[in-house]
Amino acid sequence: MNIIIIGGSDAGISAGLQAIELCPDAQVTLLVADAYPNFSICGLPFYLSGEVAHWKQLAHRTAADLQAAGLNVLERTMATRIFPKDQVVQAAGPDGPLRLPYDRLLIATGARSRTPPIKGLDTPGVFLLRWMDDARQLQQFIENQHVQSAAIIGGGYIGMEMADALTKRGIQVSLLEYQEHVLTTLDASLGKLVEGHLKDQGIKLVTRCTVQAITPSDAGCLIQTDSHSLHADLVLVATGSQPEVALAKDIGLPLGEQGAIRVTQKMETALKGIYAAGDCVQTWHRLLQQHVYLPLGSTAHKQGRVAGENMVGGERLFQGSLGTQVVKIFDLVVGRTGLKEQEAYEAGYAPMSLDVLADDHKAYYPGATPITLRITADWKSGKLLGAQLAGSYRAEISKRIDIFAAALYEGLTVEALNDLDLSYTPPLSSPWDPVQVAAQAWSKAQRSMNVRNS
Amino acid sequence: MNIIIIGGSDAGISAGLQAIELCPDAQVTLLVADAYPNFSICGLPFYLSGEVAHWKQLAHRTAADLQAAGLNVLERTMATRIFPKDQVVQAAGPDGPLRLPYDRLLIATGARSRTPPIKGLDTPGVFLLRWMDDARQLQQFIENQHVQSAAIIGGGYIGMEMADALTKRGIQVSLLEYQEHVLTTLDASLGKLVEGHLKDQGIKLVTRCTVQAITPSDAGCLIQTDSHSLHADLVLVATGSQPEVALAKDIGLPLGEQGAIRVTQKMETALKGIYAAGDCVQTWHRLLQQHVYLPLGSTAHKQGRVAGENMVGGERLFQGSLGTQVVKIFDLVVGRTGLKEQEAYEAGYAPMSLDVLADDHKAYYPGATPITLRITADWKSGKLLGAQLAGSYRAEISKRIDIFAAALYEGLTVEALNDLDLSYTPPLSSPWDPVQVAAQAWSKAQRSMNVRNS
């Protein structure tokens, strides 16, 4: 069995490792466009903050690890064309063109940074951040140009992490967000909470702000928005990503959500023997029971593993994403899973959301801090639809989000959260975990709602 | 509706609050034997360590809070007899005897410390630790007698926490455990790990040690075991608890596991209108699908809430315990949920257990520490049966245990853990959470097992 994988990031590597794990006789070859196979894209902000001393530390596994696992990794090798009938991939490697036959092919080409309609994105000092090369260029620019001010366009996850990272380096950060609130995957109440935290850390935050043009100026870049203009030594454009599908399009593979490759839950494309996974594909949403575009590293790993299993004869289904995400912003951790209120409405539910404050552990034990928990659920059926949490770095926010994610996976009601036998010791929780305190508050509100409506 | 609740700790208070929440017209009276309603028994070690400045902080709610919630709390009022036919409870209060009629009665009398067959338990300087009065006497003794050495008999959860607490106060602690390892709710590999940690902290640990007698001596207490003898200023006997069932026995209520009151999943006793919950009852085990005796504060809260709902006309079932427990021992946190290997064997499964090490978050981000994860599952079906975790205080051990608890609640297989959409950011996890890293290692071991057996 000859397996070719185009892409050496999360989905590609996971697929390769799983295929060889289940079928040690498989020949697995990975084509990696740059020289950084299996690097942690999610780690780039922490390299740029200075928390990670050397970029080489960002490798999940070294090339030697991958080799030892039995994967044949071709670095600086760009797939240029697929010939489905011949079952061959054409590629350009460091030593010239290659023709690589395959029995099974995985397209794991990932995504690239979305470039918004702003004039002057080619102005020196304007950067995107997606690949290791982007990060190293940014790092060099910050060091060589003695960057003192930065404007970040986009208040999403990367925008948050980079605001944190650049502030840690002593750079004054302005954050420009098009929407009414940052982190639009959260409802407004949590978005506002994050905004307060950003301002406390000295970030100059402007929301509802459309950037129109960037021009070079004596003082770095001049950024013109619909409301004001500002100077910054550095501009980082962090407005999301779009699937990298040129190769797939070229062979006529049908595209779905936001132009991502259509796949089944087995991660099969429309062409037999060709699979796709990761940021280049549409993602099955477990709650919505439909495909969405929701590119995430954790999802790419899962889809890759499923594809790897199925390429060697498995029958595994990708069980779906819940859009679970978490981000650390200075000392605040914010996470979410499932649907936010508007998404729940649009999906036909009767959502009711409630924000609850509960201490992360018993108040009598030192160091207790409040967690904000927002539960969204259907007020008719009580079905849990989503949860959003914010609290201190040390408040186990991310794994509490995961309790909700596990409950959503199984389609539990809010009330059923109270039946979970969660762990308790006073330094780490309460007899009712904050997750359950919030569930009980939601149930109480649901009862009032039902009384009003009966 | 007139509800009498005997007991003002976790189960009693939860039941009362839930009953009045669902049925605001109910008259709910709680009989509390001491003057400490709704105090956190689990908090006593942290009061004795000095981490909690004043014992009054240990109240989950003050008497005023309970009053405001609509509960009628009678302190220092000991129920002395129940008359089921007359639906009356007889009690001795501070102002004399009382006769209290009821429509529904909840017995939530809790447990008391088990006293092992050791001679001389009445020697001055020998203590039990269960109630606030115990804790205050212990506190006074430590202060007045300038205690410098202590022997703890019993290496369970309280023994661990008190070894930590007394060491924090500068007291030299000897820990004497009857079994081969401490924390017998864990398998030996985790028990050994805890023992190493205790020794690192200067605790003198002796396992497989039967204490035979305690006698007064010039240097405090002389403790004689089957292997050696030692002196200690203070002896704490922490060998577990047994249900407090005198009142229940008196009216002929059938007893079950370890002499605890037999109840249904609705928390009903054999007598109509009389419910029981908390440490005085047997507990439905969700995995074993049978009753066990498993007294825990978190369980008492759940059972109390179920009883409260059903006493005012509800039809709720207690969904069962998984024996989820966690303890902080100095900077180590150890937790468990579900079945340990031997329990799984005895329940008829074909358990296979695997210990896996995984970093709590990406190694490139500062502060990563290894977590030991032990998964027990059925190697034939792949069904998850239990998990045991140990790691640093800051490694989100307790909420990772809860991910396993949520999975066990739903009867997931080990492989299904990989389908959970868990949160990821490099400072807090990995694209595959340690929970999933362990699951994948277990699945790999299962495949080898199946190859060997096929």
Q: What is the pLDDT of residues A386-401, one digit of tens each?
A: 999 999 999 999 999 9
Q: Which residues of A touch B286 (CB under 8 A)?
A: 421
Q: Which among A52, A296, A362 has the least Cβ separation from residue B40?
A: A362
pLDDT of residue B454: 63
| Amino acid of residue B398 | S
Q: Which residues of A touch B325 (CB under 8 A)?
A: 423
**Which residues are within 8 A (CB) of B11 and not within 5 positions of it... i.e. 6 or more apart?**
B106, B108, B110, B277, B278, B279, B300, B301, B303, B304, B307
Residue B450: its H or E element = helix B434-453
Q: Which among B328, B333, B428 has the least Cβ separation from residue A328?
A: B428
Q: What angle do CA B100, B252, B309 make, to 5 degrees?
A: 55
Q: Which residues of B touch A416 (CB under 8 A)?
A: 319
Give A104 to chain B, closest Cα distance, Å: 23
3-state helix, strand, coil in chain B (%, to 5): 30, 30, 40
**Which residues are within 8 A (CB) of B426 and not within 5 positions of it... i.e. 6 or more apart?**
A40, A42, A43, A46, B361, B362, B364, B365
| Amino acid of residue A30 | L
Q: What is the DSSP string of A368-430?
A: --EEEEEEEEETTT-BEEEEEEEEETTS-HHHHHHHHHHHHHTT-BHHHHTTS-----TTT--
Give A171 to chain B, closest Cα distance, Å: 21
Q: Which is it for strands A332-338 and B211-217: parallel, antiparallel or unpaired?
A: unpaired
Cβ-defined contact of B57 to A321 (cutoff 8 Å): no
Most B CBs within 10 A among A14, A404, A422, hence the mutation to make, goes to A422
- Dmax over CA atoms of chain A, in Å, equals 75
Most A CBs within 10 A among B402, B421, B428, B436, hence the mutation to make, goes to B421
**Which residues are within 8 A (CB) of A55 and not within 5 positions of it... i.e. 6 or more apart?**
A47, A132, A135, A136, A139
Q: Which residues of B touch A422 (CB under 8 A)?
A: 298, 324, 402, 405
Residue A451: its H or E element = helix A434-453
Tokens linked to A359: 């201490």
Cβ-defined contact of A328 to B10 (cutoff 8 Å): no
- Cα separations (Å) of B451 from A284, A388, B356, B446? 33, 44, 21, 9
Which residue from A minimizes the CA distance to B411?
Answer: A410
Give A295 to chain B, closest Cα distance, Å: 13
Q: Which residues of A touch B300 (CB under 8 A)?
A: 431
Residue B161: phi and psi, rounded to 5, are: -65, -35
Across residues A18-23, what is the average pLDDT? Answer: 96
Count of alpha carbons within 13 Å of B429, Cβ hemisphere only?
32
C-alpha to C-alpha distance for A322 and A385, rounded to whole angstroms: 10
Which residue from A minimizes the CA distance to B431?
Answer: A298
Which residue from A minimizes the CA distance to B299?
Answer: A421
pLDDT of residue A72: 97
Cβ-defined contact of B420 to A399 (cutoff 8 Å): no
> Residue A106: helix, strand or coil by DSSP?
strand
Cβ-defined contact of A419 to B409 (cutoff 8 Å): yes
Cβ-defined contact of B433 to A327 (cutoff 8 Å): no
User: Judging by beta carbons within 10 Å of its beta carbon (0-12, 13-18, 19+), is residue B313 exposed, middle or buried?
Assistant: exposed
C-alpha to C-alpha distance for B174 and B153, rounded to whole angstroms: 9
- Cα separations (Å) of B426 from A40, A45, A114, A244, B220? 9, 10, 23, 24, 53
Cβ-defined contact of A399 to B399 (cutoff 8 Å): yes
Within 10 angstroms of residue B30's Cβ, the number of other Cβ atoms is: 26
C-alpha to C-alpha distance for B21 and A170, rounded to whole angstroms: 52
pLDDT of residue A219: 84
Contact, B29 vs B72, CB < 8 A? yes
> Residue B433: helix, strand or coil by DSSP?
coil
Which residue from A minimizes the CA distance to B322?
Answer: A421
C-alpha to C-alpha distance for B330 and A366, rounded to whole angstroms: 14
pLDDT of residue B146: 95
Give A185 to chain B, closest Cα distance, Å: 14
Tokens linked to A217: 């100026």
**CA dihedral sign of residues B59, B60, B65, B71:** negative
Give B91 to chain A, closest Cα distance, Å: 29
Chain-centroid distance of CA B386 in Å reads 17
Q: Between the CA atoms of B120, B122, B126 and B127, what dihedral angle is there, to the nearest 10 degrees?
A: 130
Cβ-defined contact of B406 to A407 (cutoff 8 Å): yes
C-alpha to C-alpha distance for B403 and B381, rounded to whole angstroms: 20
ipTM: 0.97
Q: Which among B319, B410, B427 has the least Cβ separation from residue A410?
A: B410
C-alpha to C-alpha distance for B299 and B288, rounded to whole angstroms: 16
Mean pLDDT, chain A, rounded, equals 96
> Residue B383: helix, strand or coil by DSSP?
strand
For chain B, report the end-to-end CA distance as a whole number of angstroms.
63
Contact, B121 vs B115, CB < 8 A? yes
Cβ-defined contact of B431 to A301 (cutoff 8 Å): yes
Within 10 angstroms of residue A146's Cβ, the number of other Cβ atoms is: 8
Q: Which residues of A touch B17 (CB under 8 A)?
A: none
Give B183 to chain A, closest Cα distance, Å: 15
Higher pLDDT residue, A440 or B53? A440
B119 DSSP 8-state letter: B
Within 10 angstroms of residue A242's Cβ, the number of other Cβ atoms is: 18
- Cα separations (Å) of A44 from A54, A177, A204? 11, 21, 23
Give B97 to chain A, closest Cα distance, Å: 34
Which residue from B minimizes the CA distance to A394?
Answer: B394
Q: Between the CA atoms of A145, A146, A151 and A155, what dihedral angle is there, to the nearest 10 degrees?
A: 110
Cβ-defined contact of A42 to B425 (cutoff 8 Å): yes
Q: Which residues of B touch A319 (CB under 8 A)?
A: 416, 419
Nearest to A428 by CA among A371, A368, A356: A368
C-alpha to C-alpha distance for B389 and B186, rounded to whole angstroms: 9
Across residues A167-191, what is the average pLDDT? Answer: 97
pLDDT of residue A206: 98
Tens digits of per-residue pLDDT, B219-267? 899 999 999 999 999 999 999 999 999 999 999 999 999 999 999 999 9
Nearest to A83 by CA among A67, A71, A97, A100: A100
| Amino acid of residue B365 | Y
> pLDDT-derived band of residue A448, with 50, 70 and 90 as boundaries?
confident
Across residues A417-444, what is the average pLDDT? Answer: 98
Nearest to B10 by CA among B437, B307, B249, B258: B307
C-alpha to C-alpha distance for B167 and B332, rounded to whole angstroms: 15
Q: Which residues of A touch B332 (CB under 8 A)?
A: none
Q: Which residues of B touch A364 (CB under 8 A)?
A: 40, 43, 46, 52, 57-58
Most B CBs within 10 A among A423, A432, A440, hence the mutation to make, goes to A423
Cβ-defined contact of A423 to B402 (cutoff 8 Å): yes
**CA dihedral sign of residues B248, B249, B254, B256:** positive
- Extract the residue ranges of chain B whose pLDDT is less than 70: 454
Most A CBs within 10 A among B286, B422, B440, hence the mutation to make, goes to B422
- Cα separations (Å) of B378 from A66, A270, B439? 31, 37, 13
Cβ-defined contact of B428 to A398 (cutoff 8 Å): yes
Across residues A357-373, what is the average pLDDT? Answer: 97
Cβ-defined contact of A337 to B42 (cutoff 8 Å): no
Cβ-defined contact of B302 to A403 (cutoff 8 Å): no
Q: Which residues of A touch B362 (CB under 8 A)?
A: 40, 43
Give B443 to chain A, closest Cα distance, Å: 11
Q: Which among A43, A322, A365 has the least Cβ separation from residue B52?
A: A365
Number of A to B CB contacts under 8 A, please give it: 201
Most A CBs within 10 A among B402, B410, B413, B446, hence the mutation to make, goes to B402
Tokens linked to A135: 């990060």
- Cα separations (Å) of A432 from A177, A350, B329, B331? 38, 27, 21, 23
With a cut of 90, say whether residue A450 has pLDDT above it: no
Give B86 to chain A, closest Cα distance, Å: 34
